[in-house]
Structure 1
Amino acid sequence: MVATVSACGAEKGLISIDQAIEIILQQTQPLSIENKVLQASLHHYLAEDIHAQVNLPTFSQSAVDGYALCFDGENAQDQTFEVIGEIRAGGDQQFQLNHGQAVRIFTGGKIPENTTTVARQEIVQAKQSSITITEPLRADADIRHVGEEVSKEQLLAERGQYLSVGAIAALSMAGVFEVTVFKQPKIAVLITGDEVATSSNDPSMDASSKVFDANGPLLQAWCQSNHFQVDVLHIVDDEAVVNDTFHRLKTQYDVLITTGGVSVGDYDYVRPCALNNGFTQHFWKVKQKPGKPLFFASFQNQDHHCYLLGLPGNPAAVYVCMQVYGKLLLNTLQGNCNTLQWFSATLTQPIKADQRERFIRMVMAFDQGRLTVQPLAKQQSHMLSNLMQANCLVRVPSDRQCEAGDPLQVLML
């Protein structure tokens, strides 16, 4: 069993996971756009549709090394053709074939006029100035026709398209050299907490009053793996320090991500200091486990818009909330407004009910053609050791015991 029934999180006023997701989508505006050369646009999102300026292929060409032929009928087997020249890929040789003639051609070479088919060299018996076809050969074989992949003015890519390696290759082939993309967000991560050691050499670690910082490395690595640059700062639990930090950073960054200081403790200054600095609260506290005291707010003046995602302090809650809400926020800022991609998988063992909806770290696998999920032990919000094995987050409904064989929603990590 993974979890037990708990009254924690049952208080009134909590919003649901779906409500929190919808609020982030509604309140987040994409960043401004910029023009980039295509080769420098990897991991960006398109801000404009792209239509093909040319046909692909731009001219009819040979798909193989062989011979371009001109013949009548259905089959060229056993026919002999006069060879009148050669066409290389990229060459500008011009030929017009007559019946019974052939041109030696190489892959990518431009098809000469009146070509009816191409014979690959493996089925050709070549002599000094003629060839004979040794196997059945149909008309129109091994010809890449102009525009067969993409026609001019066809929609190549839509606004919001993620520019992966494959997308850049496809656009390059279509002659696209510059694209308009959404800017990537400038992100600062603020690690709060007097108990967090800023390094392994912190002398106070010897006094057993400090804990090693997992959240800073976690968020830095998460941002790197999602192709974002990030600045990580550690700040103490002091109201004046937190106030000053928000005052300085709210106009320097597009996104502030904090860990800790968002609950109701005497030293939880993130929310009151954010509100004191002109941030507008969009939600605070979600009926979920882990990560109930999640805080989302934004600041806006005439020149700048800054979003604040206040994460809990426990590292498992930080990890889960970034995989769900952090990714959603950062993608939406870049014009990718698709909701999270959930998959259905079959649970392998029972899970007890809880009053909060949960994100449980599990191992996903294929079993006889089925996608299955296996719960891991040590699910408490301060524990991270099971992330060595976890490859998915599974969304478990509230107030219901789940049985082996039940279908659940899965978010791949």
Structure 2
Amino acid sequence: MKEFVTVIEAKKILKSQKLKGKSAFLPLQKSLGKITSTSVLAPMDVPSFDNSGMDGYAIAWDDKGKGREVIEVIQAGASPDFVLEQGKAVRIFTGAPVPQGADTVIPQEYITRTENMIFFERDEFIRGANVRKKGAQCKVGWEVVPAGARVSPGTIGLLASLGMREIEVYPSPKVTLILTGDEIIDLGNKLNPGQIYNANGPSLEAYLELLGITELTILKVKDEESEVTRVIGEALEKSDFVLLTGGISVGDFDFVKGSLEQNGVDQLFYKIRQRPGKPLYVGRKAEKLVFALPGNPASVLSCFIQYVKPCLLEWMGNSDAWSSPKFLPIEKRFDKKVPLTFFLKAKIQDGKIHLLPGQESFNLLPFGVADGLVEIPQEILYVEEGSLVAFYPW
């Protein structure tokens, strides 16, 4: 159990958790963006038969005759059941099976045809020209998709061409988002004095959707200890990740920390030497992670991007979940008066980092145009103009 950890310590603790979801078979149409948990082996040869790569005429290369009689037309989807004899040819179309006895396709634009006879110049071709051989793409048992690969539309097309209807991947986790605070009012309702609109719910829901997480439950809980404890217990029963906003500080109506303890959640750390988002709590119960985020919307998003997002991605099998930031020059000098790690909203312009006005934890205006967050480490009290700073894009 740790309190007031540094950003480096917090990330080290989270990386050490090594949580990963259990793999499952999903239909191809539901697997987009997921990570493969095992390598995928081809269940068949592709192509599964020799076929034509061109519209043209299939011939036997060893047949030295100057002309050939066209005896048949073979379209894609046909099943020719004859052997091509010497001196014969077949009209064939792209993708159609090449009949036995034929091994070369001459494109139609190189053919001179008179009635049922064709002629062409042999010197312009070689044996096997324009024939896609069986297994040329892959053979049974070949690895066609490695483990740890992100499923793209191209992946889905490849597997569909192999006749596969599903793929084993790391599915998205089940997430419950619990919003605390009696002052929080849902959108569409009129605000009374002392009330604020629910910004944390929609912003986190959008970010979770961006990560491909669709199994999300959003709950609003009253600032009553028994209710907070009950709702957290229910969320832990059915979720892989539980996220809370607000109620994690030390005020008279901040019941989250105590309610987590009552539900058997083991604290990993509480409070980070950073701004914004100091009162961040992270705990674990069995294979479930709990993030109790601050209440201020800017703090919520900053903590989510730095700590929650990588854990979710790691759970879903992403090997680069804790990817390193980019380093870009800062447009002008920045000073800070306290030895905390600062996360600052910023925009990239002309290859430089421009810090945005309105960096207070309550202020969401810079999030409307920011490209990501800049990290100024705890031990650095100022950054000179042009110095490289760590930048985390959205």
TM-score (norm 2): 0.85
Match of 1:315 in 2: 297
Q: 1:364 to 1:114 in 2, by over 3 A?
A: farther
- What residue number does 1:124 align with? 111
Select between 179-188 and 134-143 the one with higher mean Cα deviation: 134-143
Letter in 1 for 2:280: L
Counterpart position of 1:221? 206
Percent of residue pairs identical: 29
2:392 aligns to what SS in structure 1? strand
Partner secondary structure for residue 323 of structure 1: helix
Residue number among 60, 63, 67 corresponding to 1:70 in the alignment:
60
Q: Is the 8 A contact 1:347 1:403 kept in 2?
A: no
What SS class does the counterpart of residue 250 from structure 1 fall into?
A: helix
Is the 2:112–2:119 contact (alpha carbons within 8 Å) kept by the matching residues of 1?
Answer: yes
Tell me which of 233, 238, 247 is aligned to 1:252.
238
Q: Distance in 2 between matches of 1:123 and 1:18?
A: 68
Is the Cα contact below 8 Å between 2:331 and 2:352 reproduced in 1?
Answer: no
Partner of 1:111: 98
Task: Please tell me whether the aligned partners of residues 3 and 270 of structure 2 are also in contact (alpha carbons under 8 angstroms).
Answer: no
- Paired residue for 2:225? 239
- Aligned AA (1:25): K
Partner of 2:332: 350
Is the alpha carbon distance of 1:137 and 1:97 closer, same or farther for their aligned partners in structure 2, counting shifts above 3 Å? farther
**Structure 1 stretches of 5 or more lacking a match?**
1-11
How far apart, CA to CA, are the structure 2 residues paired with 1:98 and 1:348? 76
CA gap 1:247/1:339 in 2 versus in 1, 3 angstroms? closer
In structure 2, C-alpha distance between the alignment counterparts of 1:138 and 1:394, rounded to whole Å: 61
CA displacement at 1:258 relative to structure 2:
0.6
1:306 deviates by: 3.0
SS of 2:243 mapped into structure 1: strand
Residue in 1 aligned with 2:44?
54
CA deviations on 1:370-395 (whole Å, 9 max, x unpaired) are x5544333232222222332233333
The 8 Å contact of residues 251 and 306 in structure 1, kept in 2 or not, is answered as no
Code of the aligned partner of 1:335: G
Distance 2:232 2:72 in 1: 74
The structure 2 residue matched to 1:30, chosen from 5, 10, 20, is: 20
Q: Given the superposition, is the C-alpha separation of residues 118 and 286 from structure 1 closer, same or farther in structure 2, using an over 3 Å criterion? A: farther
Superposition deviation, residue 93 in structure 1: 0.9
Q: CA deviation at 1:246?
A: 1.8
What is the TM-score when the length of structure 1 is the normalising length? Answer: 0.81
| Partner SS for 1:27 | coil
Deviation at 1:281, TM superposition (A): 0.9
Q: Give the superposed CA RMSD.
A: 3.2
The residue identity in structure 2 corresponding to 1:46 is T
Measure the CA separation in 2 of the matches of 1:95 and 1:137: 28
Cα shift at 1:278: 0.6
1:313 to partner: Cα distance = 1.2
Moved more, 139-148 or 229-238: 139-148
Q: Distance in 1 between matches of 2:371 and 2:18?
A: 28
Secondary structure of the residue that 2:124 maps to in structure 1?
coil
How far the C-alpha of 1:106 sits from its partner, in A, is 1.4
CA distance 1:132–1:28, shift in 2 (3 Å): same
| C-alpha distance in 2 between matches for 1:94 and 1:407 | 70
Distance 1:229 1:400 in 2: 42
Instruction: Between 184-193 and 391-400, report the one with greater CA deviation.
Output: 391-400
